[in-house]
Amino acid sequence: MTTTQTLDDARAALREHFGYPAFRPGQEAAVTSVLAGRDTLVVLPTGGGKSLCYQVPALMLPKLTVVISPLISLMKDQVDALEARGLPATFVNSTLSSSQISDRLARAIRGDVKLLYVAPERFDAGTTAERLRDAGVSLLAVDEAHCISEWGHDFRPSYLRIAQVREKLGMPPTVALTATATPHVRTDIVAQLKLDSPTTIITGFDRTNLSYHVLPVRTDREKDDALVHLLRTSDGLAVVYAATRKAVERIAMLLDRARIPAAAYHAGLDDERRHAVQDAFMGEKVRAIVATNAFGMGIDKPNVRLVIHYAMPGTLEAYYQEAGRAGRDGQPAACYLLHAFPDRFTHEFFIKGAYPERSTVEEVYGVLQRNAMKDGSVELSPDDIAARLKAKAGEREVESALRILTQAGAYRVEPDGGDRVFVRLLATPERIKRELGGNDSLELGILRAMWRVAGKALSDGAPIDLSGLPPGFGGSSGALPLLDALQSRQFLEWHRGSSGAQLTAAAKPLTAFRIDWITIDRRRKADLQKLDAMQQYAYTKGCRRGFVLRYFGDPAARTSCSGCDNCLGTRVEVERGAAPEPARSRSSGRRRGGAKERADVDEAPTLSGADEALLARLRDLRRVISREDQVPAYVVFSDRTLAEMAVRRPTTEHALSEIRGVGPAKLERYGARFLDVVRSTDETEAA
């Protein structure tokens, strides 16, 4: 079959199954390359129809097409759309039971489906790739391929292993697809996937129907005014992107008070609520959806007329992809960025937190060493560690340092203590022989068994795995009463092994572990450079469209256009006071901080003498609970959380839930007891 005939077949499949009369620019070249069995790199703008570049060939190729997709919602939406057209497709991800996964893989192997969508993590363990190879794979499609590059804006470790997956699948022809890739990222994708002289198709990043605007603002109040003004003076559906879940909820309430029908969407919503919000927007029952970047991937709403970024994204890749969800129907749409200089600080905080300085990691390791017990366990939360550092570092930096130490093998977190106990022998051999040597008791037997495991280290304290002891002690359930009996007679002391954190070799220096400091430093600098580019876009006096196109290496970049505020010479005059005043809420917590609530402040609360006294009582209660539940104290509540309780003195469950570190599960489990301490303290002071 010639290439022309094959392409004619593809056009016929496009019309028959998808209802489109012809391929868009770039799609035809991509389909031609894929059907010819060539590796292919496809860069199409958001809304450019990347999925058809592999979906149409998949229907024509003899065997299975495997699609690696990064988001559960994305693969489900695409499979639902394919099934609605009667096309044989399915997906496998973590939302399914093991029996459902087995059934779907079996269908794919039998040839009952033509497209199988999988998350990259699916191949990290097991034999999925080998089973699919035996069945035959005609094409491997890697969606959102920028994820494979450490320079990409959505770096994901499992994507780095796709080249290995490809080998396990039998090196099928591969098509990599993305909407946002700079020249460096494109080169990295080819190298990481080991594409063989790929056909590279770049149709251009320019969405000529979109106009780009930046509104300089100084405060959140000015942002609120600008947002409400834009929505009141523009027509059509709108997507408003905010940086955090908390901001999403607040902005949705703001629009509701301004009588602009809006709904909040973020990853914290349960599935039922998230689907209800999505359906309301798709059905145009609400005017605007306020969302984190969790919204939009795979959502094909063609008539969005307005995309507003309430805060500056950290990269131009993210901004361009999210802004590109406007005007997918080809009709005019506007993209607005509300820019305040302090937005940069938020991203710097996250970048430096994700890639901490070497000195921070070293100091964190030193704190862990100094506070480790003899078995290596460490009962310190990230907040507690941060408080012990000489250098100023936040909880996020500490968590990233712990992640680096974990990857290096210096630190680990055990999800469950299981049968591990820590035992320290108190009695001398003479006493043991004198008091236990005359009978063949189980107590003497377990002492001998533990000595054989730990030797002389038992005198200083050593970890013992009860499940590893010889048979005859009844496992953990039989051994624990024996340990209790020996402890009551002061032969030994014991406690359960830590179910929390542990240094793997507390005596070793950090230099004994392999850490790639150069890569960490390079990633930090790369993300800061991306942030610089994003801010330069916001401040440029030249053509914004040209700035974006040059960033992505598009030769179509020009020095002027007719679709940005700078080239048009337009400036939005915001109606001050457009946003309604926020309702003042009465808090049952004491000592709320006026206009800026204490919950929003990262610094530890300042305690008075009376607060210190209450904090001591709260710590006593925490100690009791940690012993009862046999968990480290910080698992109950961190020092930071207890300090805030002592300052704010909540007396209701609602007030307690507003304190940082008090989630629904801990509120239910521990809330009543801590509230009792606070209330009794207040009553004592009042008396």
- Do 426 and 410 fall within a single domain? no
Q: Which residue among 157, 172, 202 closes a domain?
A: 202
- Do 42 and 120 fall within a single domain? yes
- Do 143 and 24 fall within a single domain? yes
Q: Hey, what are 139's tokens? A: 């094409």
Instruction: Identify whether 97 is part of a domain.
Output: yes
C-alpha torsion sign, points 546, 547, 550, 554: negative
- Do 17 and 165 fall within a single domain? yes
- Do 106 and 31 fall within a single domain? yes
Instruction: Identify whether 625 is part of a domain.
Output: yes
- Do 174 and 222 fall within a single domain? no
Number of domains in the chain: 5
Instruction: Identify whether 668 is part of a domain.
Output: yes
Instruction: Identify whether 579 is part of a domain.
Output: no
**For the residues of 248-280, what is the DSSP string, one character each?**
HHHHHHHHHHTT--EEEE-TTS-HHHHHHHHHH
Give pLDDT, residue 682: 65
- Do 490 and 545 fall within a single domain? no
- Do 245 and 227 fall within a single domain? yes
Instruction: Identify whether 470 is part of a domain.
Output: yes
- Do 270 and 378 fall within a single domain? no
Question: Around Cβ 431, how many Cβ atoms within 10 Å?
Answer: 13
Instruction: Identify whether 615 is part of a domain.
Output: yes
Instruction: Identify whether 575 is part of a domain.
Output: no
- Do 107 and 179 fall within a single domain? yes
Nearest-CA neighbor of 677 among 615, 600, 585? Answer: 615
Give pLDDT, residue 73: 67
- Which CATH number do you get for residue 123? 3.40.50.300
**For the residues of 72-124, what is the DSSP string, one character each?**
HHHHHHHHHHHHHTT--EEEE-TTS-HHHHHHHHHHHHHTS-SEEEE-GGGGS
- Do 509 and 366 fall within a single domain? yes
Instruction: Identify whether 328 is part of a domain.
Output: yes
Contact 22, 50 (CB under 8 A): no
Whether the full predicted model's pTM is greater than 0.85, yes or no, is no
- Domain span at 665: 598-686
Contact 207, 325 (CB under 8 A): no
How confident is the model over 266-307, as pLDDT tens digits? 877 887 888 788 888 888 899 999 998 766 554 567 889 999
Q: What is the Cα–Cα distance from 131 to 144, expressed in whole angstroms?
A: 25
Question: Around Cβ 564, how many Cβ atoms within 10 Å?
Answer: 23
- Which CATH number do you get for residue 629? 1.10.150.80
Q: Which residue among 153, 169, 202 closes a domain?
A: 202
- Do 25 and 137 fall within a single domain? yes
674 vs 509, 646, 651, 669, CA distance in Å? 40, 10, 9, 10
How confident is the model over 445-495, as pLDDT tens digits? 899 889 988 888 888 777 788 877 887 777 777 888 888 888 888 889 887
Task: Give the mean pLDDT per block of 10 residues along the chain (687 residues).
Answer: 65 88 90 94 82 93 91 78 86 84 90 91 83 92 84 66 91 91 87 92 85 93 94 92 91 94 86 82 90 65 92 91 87 94 87 89 93 80 86 83 91 68 86 76 86 85 80 78 86 72 88 92 90 94 94 87 90 76 46 37 63 87 81 72 88 86 81 90 58
